[in-house]
Structure 1
Amino acid sequence: MQAGRLGILSVLAAALLALAAACGGGGGGGEQQGGGGGGGEAEVRPAMVTDVGGLGDQSFNDSAYRGLKRAGEEFGVKVEVLESNAPTDYVNNLSQLAESGYSPVFAIGFLMTDAVTEVSQQFPDTQFAIVDSVVEQPNVASLVFREQEGSYLAGVVAGLMTQEETPYTNPDDKVVGFLGGQESDLIRKFQAGYEAGVEAACPDCEVLVQYAGTTPEAFNDPARGKEIALQQINEGADIIYHASGATGAGLFEAAREQKIFAIGVDSDQAKLFPDAPILTSVVKRVDNAVFQTIEAARGGEFPGGEVQEFGLEDGGLSLAPFYRFDRFVPQKVKDEVDRAREGIISGEIKVPEKPQ
């Protein structure tokens, strides 16, 4: 690959880095420390530890920070953020905030699972929360998402739009793709929902599935992402959905070069990469999860020891607008997406968490 091409991929990868953990004032000893409890208003002095993408990633960490800032503004408290430059910073950053009296302390990303498990036991009177993982400690709230629900909607869009004649899609093939980062239970939830949505919208469609690898590095390999995307395009895919972190940068470049649609993940990626043909994105509202957890802690109801799930019904997930591609999306497609959303929320549609 030429140096200029690598440079473009590097810039895209940097903007997507935080997705790798995802597809990633002082004091605190309030009245309701540790696990949950009822009654009264507790003191909150919230803080968070970012994953290695840090603030300014325009994605996962920034979304969490928006929720933190909102809580600070609405509740009139000072908030704090410590950024992680490497995984080796996790334990130290979490410990530093706990020692300074912050609570609740948020760990942004499943890569901090071991660190939260360790530090939460060392500071049993501090409230902790982790995004995208489960830590079974009485003072830890585990904030997870029903990614399969948003992915189902993406699958409905892909299954219907691949049957449309547009500058980006060819109805002759009826082939779509899924690009995963690290093979893991989390990313398989994205795959399962997407495949189910495609199947519901287009039983005759084929879904090509490929993962970039089996280690965390698979979330940060845009060259591999482009390689997989080009392979799927060569096999007829004209819409590819990714849950692959920075690896998705390669998909975006391949989609731009080959003029097919990409579907983004976690953030509204069409806004972040306006030159890429991103049809829509499955937006994961980490900000809402963070804010709601702080709000619960303030009300004396911190969900310590509990798993909090966020999905379509409570605003934890949503499908981004079609923006400049809206003119290519027939009303019947939009109506089907709305019906699918309503069906999931009502319980009429059961979305699988694992690929069938």
Structure 2
Amino acid sequence: MTSRTRQVVLSGLALVGTMAVLAGCSAAPSDTASAKKTDFRPCMVSDAGGFDDKSFNQLGYEGMLDAAKELGADTNKAESKDATVYDSNIEQLINQNCNMIITVGFNLADATKKQAAANPDTEFAIIDDNSIDAKNVKPITFDTSQAAFLAGYAAASYSKTGVVGTFGGMQIPTVTIFMDGFADGVKYYNEKKNKDVKVVGWNVETGKGSFTGGFEAGTQAKSVAQTLLDQDADVILPVGGPIYQSAAEAIKDANNGSVLIGADSDLYEADPRYKDIAFTSVMKGMRPAVKDVVEQAADDKFSKELYVGTLKNDGVGIAPFHDYESKVDSGLQDELDTIKSGIIDGSIKVETQSNK
């Protein structure tokens, strides 16, 4: 990769209805408010969840803005209404002179691969996909099965009914990796405690489970969550951006003591509307990962090397129990700390079809 001419040398390391690109398209202020210090411009295309999903799109976008603030860079973004605009949104950003384009989610892999091949001088990063082997594409992935394993163990420990549940948006690896880890954590709890806590909504062995078919909050997501509640699940992990909102509504309507586990970000902090039912969350460190990747690219240190967030590098983890800290078993946190150490040193194996 050739060096770029910048005004200074730097160190350190998306929903529109059609093809519209938001912000930075004219002399109006860009997405970043800092004074411009560099001509390097990072940009981002969202998945269908949009940049206000309180989840992976928003976290990735915030990471880009963090980097832009440090760099004094202009940014641009494009929100995707659905899969039909992924390709055109990327192309629009290329036409806006973006030096790096971050695409958010497994579903954008085909469009990213196509545009990266057609634009070899543009650097790309894609979150939650490692299928593209190209010199100008940086994969950013997370072994969320490790953190979900901890959440599954905690859910099994907390459950009063002996039934916990999980469901997803689409049956794709970046969703089922959460569900695999969650179910395996419950299984490990049963083995260690000689219990028989049941998981509804996902079967690791058969690969069959409950999915809404998309990442939108609404009637379908609420109905799936209600089905799990009707099977006596009192801890539910929805995996798929905004669908957690519908699960939260179902739990609140039930008003039976059931709780919610967030995905990607700390639900308690990210969406305080649901803090009273937020048990914990399975978190991805997308914000710092994206920030680092952007800063590296701005400093001419772009690399196609795969990034994998794990428990060991703090790329994944679980959130505090917050208001439920006094309600969980007194020895639970010590048990989770021991399990985490075991996963890191390899004595506890966490396997998933999604990362094999």
Same fold (TM over 0.5): yes
Opposite residue 114 of structure 2, the aligned amino acid is E
**Structure 1 residues 139 and 161, CA, compared in 2 at 3 Å: closer, same or farther?**
same
Which has the larger share of helix? 1
* Structure 1 residue 221 displacement after superposition: 5.5
* Offset of residue 109 of structure 1: 1.7
Structure having greater relative contact order (Cα 8 Å, sep ≥ 6): 1
Query: How far is 1:61 from its partner?
Result: 2.1
Distance in 2, matches of 1:236 and 1:84, equals 36
Task: Tell me how far 1:231 sits from its aligned partner.
Answer: 3.0
- Give the drift of 1:298: 3.4
| Aligned residues of 2:248 and 2:274 also touching (Cα < 8 A) | no
Question: How far did residue 86 of structure 1 move?
Answer: 3.6
**Matches of 1:338 and 1:40 in 2, distance apart?**
32
Please say if residues 116 and 124 of structure 2, whose CA atoms lie closer than 8 Å, have aligned partners that are also in contact. yes
What is the aligned partner in structure 1 of residue 144 from structure 2? Answer: 147
Q: In the TM superposition, what is the alpha-carbon distance from 1:32 to its structure 2 partner?
A: 7.0
Q: Which residue of 2 aligns with 1:300?
A: 300
Paired residue for 1:311?
310
Cα distance change of structure 1 residues 246 and 343 upon mapping to structure 2, 3 Å threshold: same
Map 1:250-269; keep pairs closer than 5 Å.
250-256=246-252, 257=254, 258-269=256-267
The aligned counterpart of 2:17 is none
Note the C-alpha offset of 1:51: 2.5
Aligned pairs, number:
310
Q: Which SS does the other structure have where 1:262 is aligned?
A: strand
Match of 1:347 in 2: 346
| TM-score scaled by length of structure 1 | 0.78
- TM-score scaled by length of structure 2: 0.78
- The 5 Å alignment of 1:1-356 reads 31=3, 44-134=40-130, 135-162=132-159, 170=160, 173-203=161-191, 204-210=196-202, 211-213=209-211, 217-220=213-216, 222-256=218-252, 257=254, 258-271=256-269, 272=271, 273-274=273-274, 277-304=277-304, 306-354=305-353
Task: Determine helix, strand or coil for the equivalent of 1:327.
Answer: coil
Task: Quote the residue 1:36 is aligned against.
Answer: none
Q: How big is each residue's C-alpha offset from its partner over 1:148-172, in whole Å with a ceiling of 9 and x where there is no partner?
A: 011111111112112xxxxxxx2xx
Deviations 1:71-97 (A, max 9, x none): 112223222223333433322222232
Tell me, yes or no, if the aligned pair for 2:151 and 2:281 is still in contact at 8 Å.
yes
Cα contact 2:46–2:103 (8 A) shared by 1: yes
Distance 2:218 2:339 in 1: 32
Cα distance 1:58–1:221, how it changes in 2: closer, same or farther (>3 A)? closer
1:145 is displaced (CA, Å) by 1.0
Report the Cα distance in structure 2 between the residues aligned to 1:108 and 1:351, rounded to whole angstroms: 25
Instruction: Decide whether the 8 Å contact of 1:284 with 1:318 is kept in 2.
Output: yes
| Conserved 8 A contact 1:252-1:276 | no
User: Matches of 1:40 and 1:232 in 2, distance apart?
Assistant: 46
Partner of 2:21: none
Give the CA deviation at 1:40.
11
Query: Percent sequence identity over matched residues?
Result: 30
Distance 1:222 1:157 in 2: 28
1:39-71 CA-to-partner distances (Å, cap 9, x unmatched) read: 999984312122233333332222112211111
The answer to whether the Cα contact below 8 Å between 1:43 and 1:298 also exists between their aligned partners in 2 is no
Given that residues 106 and 174 in structure 2 are in contact (C-alpha distance below 8 angstroms), is that contact kept between their aligned partners in structure 1? no
Specify the SS of the correspondent of 1:182.
Answer: coil
Q: Residue deviations 1:201-224, cap 9 Å, x none?
A: 22322111244448xx33326433
Q: What is the alpha-carbon root mean square deviation over aligned residues? A: 2.7
